Amino acid sequence: MYRLGIDIGGTFTDCVLIGPGADGATYATSKALSTGDDPTSGVLAALTELSARVGVPLRELLAATERFGHGTTIGTNAVLERTGARVGLITTAGHGDALAIMRGHGRAAGRGIEDVFRVRGAAPPAPLIVPGAVLELHERVDAAGSVVVALDEARAAEAVAAFVERHRLTSVAVVFLWSLANPAHELAVEKIVAAEAPGVFVSLSSRVSPRLGEYERTVGTVLNGYVGPACTRYLSSMADRLAAEGLTAPLLVMQSSGGVVSATAAAEIALGTLDSGPTAGLTGTAALAAANRHRNVVATDMGGTSFDIGLVVNGEPVVADESVIDRYTYRLPHLDVRTTACGGGTIARRDPRTGALRVGPESAGSQPGPACYGRGGTDATVTDADVVLGLLRPESFLAGRMPLDEAAARAAVGRLADELGLGLEAAAAGILSVNNLRAATLIRQQTLERGLDPRDFVLYSYGGAGPVHAFGYAAEIGVREVLIPLGDGASTLSAYGIAAGDAARFVEMETALRAPFDDAALSAAIGDVTERARKALVDAGVFEEPRVDVWALMRYQEQLMHSLEVPVAEAGGAGLASRLVEGFLQEYAQRYGDSPAAAFQAAEVFALRARARVPGSVPQISGRPGGDVTGAAGRSAQVFWPDAGERLLTSVFDGERLGGLDRVTGPALVELPHTTVAVPRGATLTAEHGHFRLLLPSPEVGR
C-alpha cells in the first residue's frame, strides 16, 4: 500500500510516494508545473508522471493508496488576490468596528522595514468583509462566562435573515465578546443562520480562535469565513476528480499546525490551511532530524517563488500563535515558518533611486517564469544567474526533460549588467550574493531573537533551488554542516512531510493562573486542555489513541506584550508548579538574559496549548547502495564560483550513482533529476543513509 503527498507551490507541484521496501520504506518523486487557474490539473499531471516513474498505471496506483495527503494554497491565494467569499460580521452591540480600528501597529504588521516608512503605503489593507456588512446583536457574556444580557433568538433570526439578503452574503463570521468563556450565543446564531439562510458558511470565533484579543479573534474568524467556501468547493472538487481516477482513500489536508486532518475538518476551520505547504517542509524536516539524531536544525526551503525557514529546537518544531497575512493579524497555533521573497524565480533589478542591485520581492513564477525557461520571460532572475555562472547546466535541468535556454538567460542578465555597469558574470554573482544575504538575514532573525546561535545548528536545505544555493547562505551565517535531505527528494520535501506527517490537532485554552501556583489547579487545567485536544482529534476523523503534549504560555504580569512557551512534562504530581516556574526562568534567561528577571515579581500562565497527535509511522527511508564515485563523475564544466570570483574547472557528478562510501571534494556539481547540489572549493560532500551531507570549509579557508 502506498502513501502519497502533494504540495502545490508557486512554480511547481510536487508529488511524493512512500511505499514498502525490502529495507524500510522506498520512495519516488515527481514534479509538474503548477496550474494556477486549475490547481487540480497540475496535481494530476504530477501524479501521471509519478505513475510512469514507478511503472504502475495511475488508476492502479491510486487504488492501492492507503493515505493521500495534500497541501493547498487555495486559502492563501483567496486572501492575497481578494477572491474569497462575500462575508459579513455578526458581533456584540457596540463592537462592530474592531476590524476598522485594528491595533496601533496594524497598518505596519507584516510589512518590511522599508515599507513601514512609506507614507503612501500606510493606508489600511483592503477590507475582508463586504463594505457595511456588520450586524450588531444585543447580547452579553462576562469574563466568567455568565450571561449578562440574553440573546433574543426570535429578533436575532429576523435580523440575520435580512442581513444576509441585503448584503448577498455567502458567509458570516460570528464574534461575540467572551464567547471563549461561554459559546452559547454563538452556537445559537449558527443554528439561526442554518435555518434562515441554508448554504451560507458560518465561522464561529469560539471554534476558530478562542483566545483573548478581540481584534485578533475577529480577524481569524472573518478570515476563516472568507476562505472557507472556496476551500470547501476546492477540496470537494479535488476529492471527486481523484475518486474518478481511482482513489478510494480519504483526502487528507495539511494544516499550518503541522498535521493532517480530513478534508471535512480542514474546510470547517479553513484558516488552518493557510501556509500549509511551508509547514509541511518543517514537518518532514523534524521527522528526518529525529532519525538522524539532530536536535537543533535550521530548516530552509528555497523554491521557485520564496524562501521559507523554520526551526527544530531540542527535537521539536518551534510553534507560534500569531500570524499576519496582508497586514491582518490573527491567532492560531502554527509551526513558526517565516518567508521572504528570494526563490529561484525572484527577479533582480536596478533600484531606480539608489542605482544598486535589488533582488525581489517580485517573482517570475511559473508563467512566464525565468527567462531561461523559454516561456516568454525577459527579466533576470536568480535561476538565470545560476545558468550564466554554470551552477545549473541547461541540458541537465529536470534530468533533461526541460532544457534551459542559456542564450535567453545570458541576454536577461546581460541587460541588467549593462544597467549596473558590470560585467555579465559579476552581475550574476552579485544576484546570488544579494539573494544569499536576504536568506541569511531571515535565518539570523529567527535564531538570534530566540537567544540561539545559528552556528550551533545543522542546516537542512531543500526545495528545488535550495541545494544549489545552500553553500552560499550557510556560509553567510557561519554554519558548516548542511544536510540535503533524501538526496533528490530534497526538492519535494514538503510533499514528503505531507505524506509522512502525523495526524494532529492543536487546542488552546485561556487561563488566569498566577504565581504562586497551586499544583492541584494547574493539574486540573492541564487535564481539561488535554481532553479538549483528544476530542478535537476525534472530531477531525482520527480515532486512534493520541499522544498529547502540553505547553504553558507564560509571562511576567507586567509584560503583557511578551510571552514564552514552556513545555509541561507531566499533568500532575507534587512539584508541578515549581518545575513549571523553573522552566519559565530558564527560557526567560536564554531569551532575554538573567538580569531583567529581577525587575518583575510574579509569573502567570495566561493560556495552555495542547497538541494531540497520532504518529505517521513511516519507516525510515532506505539508503543508497555504495556506488562508484569515479564512474559517477566523468564530466567537468567551467563554473564561475562567487566565493572565488573566477571560473574554475568543476567536476560534475551523477548524484543517483553516489553511494554510502563516496566522497566528493569541491569544486563540484552533483546533479540530480530535480535539483543540483553545489559543492564549493574546500568543501566535501558524502552520501549517508539516503541523504547528502555537505561539510563547508572553516571561514579561514580560501580567504
Tell me the C-alpha distance between 462 and 402, whole Å. Answer: 20
**In the CATH hierarchy, which fold is given to the domain comprising 84-225?**
Rossmann fold (3.40.50)
Strands 147-149 and 140-141: antiparallel
Average pLDDT over residues 164-189: 96
- The answer to whether residues 200 and 171 touch, using CB atoms and an 8 Å cutoff, is yes
Q: In what order do the strands lie in the sheet with 668-671?
A: 635-641, 646-654, 668-671, 676-679
Of 251-265, 539-553, 562-576, give the lowest mean pLDDT range: 562-576
| Confidence band of 703 (pLDDT split at 50, 70, 90) | very low
Average pLDDT over residues 623-634: 53
Average pLDDT over residues 524-553: 91
- List for the chain the helix, strand, coil content (%; round to 5): 40, 30, 35
Bridge partners (DSSP) of residue 568 are 550
- The residue with greater pLDDT, 361 or 571, is 361
- The answer to whether residues 480 and 698 touch, using CB atoms and an 8 Å cutoff, is yes
Q: Which residue has the cell 535541468?
A: 397
- The answer to whether residues 566 and 584 touch, using CB atoms and an 8 Å cutoff, is yes
- The answer to whether residues 479 and 455 touch, using CB atoms and an 8 Å cutoff, is yes
What lies within 8 Å, CB to CB, of 22 at 6+ separation is 622
Of 221-230, 285-294, 322-331, 681-690, give the lowest mean pLDDT range: 322-331
Using alpha carbons, select from 220, 217, 354 the residue that is nearest to residue 274: 220
Of 555-559, 612-616, 667-671, give the lowest mean pLDDT range: 555-559
Domain 503-614: top CATH class: alpha beta
Report the chain's terminal Cα–Cα distance, integer Å. 53
Quick one: pLDDT at residue 107? 63
What the block records as the C-alpha cell of 385 is: 544567474
Q: What are phi and psi of 115, to 5 degrees?
A: -80, -25
User: What does pTM read for this prediction?
Assistant: 0.86
DSSP SS3 for 205: helix
Taking only the tens place, the pLDDT of each residue in 212-250 is 889 999 999 999 999 999 899 989 999 999 999 999 999
Quick one: pLDDT at residue 112? 62
What the block records as the C-alpha cell of 678 is: 553545489
Separation in Å, CA 166 to CA 162, 225, 452: 6, 18, 54
- The answer to whether residues 343 and 304 touch, using CB atoms and an 8 Å cutoff, is yes
Does residue 624 have a pLDDT over 70?
Answer: no
Mean model confidence pLDDT for the chain: 88
Does residue 702 have a pLDDT over 50?
Answer: no
Tell me the C-alpha distance between 268 and 207, whole Å. Answer: 9
Quick one: pLDDT at residue 629? 57
Does residue 415 have a pLDDT over 90?
Answer: yes
Omega cis (within 30) before 394: no
Taking only the tens place, the pLDDT of each residue in 461-499 is 998 899 999 999 999 999 999 999 988 888 888 899 998
* Sign of the dihedral through C-alpha 575, 578, 581, 583: negative
Taking only the tens place, the pLDDT of each residue in 74-124 is 888 788 778 889 999 999 999 999 888 887 666 667 666 556 666 665 677
Tell me the C-alpha distance between 202 and 195, whole Å. Answer: 12
* Sign of the dihedral through C-alpha 563, 564, 568, 573: negative
Taking only the tens place, the pLDDT of each residue in 434-470 is 999 999 999 999 999 888 999 999 999 998 899 999 9
Where b means 16+ CB within 10 Å and e means fewer, 309-336 reads bbbbeeebbbbbbbbebebbbbbbbbbb
Tell me the C-alpha distance between 338 and 455, whole Å. Answer: 19
**Long-range contacts: 16-19, Cβ < 8 Å, 24+?**
16/489, 16/492, 16/495, 16/496, 16/498, 16/499, 17/50, 17/54, 17/61, 17/499, 18/496, 18/499, 18/500, 18/618, 18/621, 19/54
Bridge partners (DSSP) of residue 39 are none
Quick one: pLDDT at residue 39? 85
Report the percent of the chain where pLDDT is more than 90.
Answer: 53
* Sign of the dihedral through C-alpha 432, 438, 441, 445: negative
DSSP 8-state code for residue 412:
H
Tell me the C-alpha distance between 283 and 560, whole Å. Answer: 31
Q: Where are the beta strands (DSSP E) in 116-273?
A: 129-137, 140-141, 147-149, 171-175, 201-204, 251-254, 260-262
Does residue 23 have a pLDDT over 70?
Answer: no
Tell me the C-alpha distance between 163 and 172, whole Å. Answer: 10
Q: Which residue has the cell 522506498?
A: 26
Tell me the C-alpha distance between 695 and 496, whole Å. Answer: 24
Separation in Å, CA 451 to CA 66, 409, 586, 594: 43, 42, 12, 12
- Domains 84-225 and 503-614 alike in fold: no
What the block records as the C-alpha cell of 483 is: 544536510
DSSP SS3 for 24: strand
Tell me the C-alpha distance between 301 and 27, whole Å. Answer: 20
Using H for helix, E for strand and C for coil, what is the string for 149-177?
Answer: ECCCHHHHHHHHHHHHHHHCCCEEEEECC
| Confidence band of 126 (pLDDT split at 50, 70, 90) | confident
| Confidence band of 666 (pLDDT split at 50, 70, 90) | confident
| Confidence band of 34 (pLDDT split at 50, 70, 90) | confident
Tell me the C-alpha distance between 181 and 529, whole Å. Answer: 14
- The 10 Å Cβ neighbour count of residue 693 is 16
Quick one: pLDDT at residue 626? 47
Tell me the C-alpha distance between 503 and 505, whole Å. Answer: 7
- The answer to whether residues 373 and 404 touch, using CB atoms and an 8 Å cutoff, is yes
Does residue 506 have a pLDDT over 50?
Answer: yes
Tell me the C-alpha distance between 587 and 72, whole Å. Answer: 35
Q: Which sequence spans correspond to the domains of the chain?
A: 84-225, 503-614
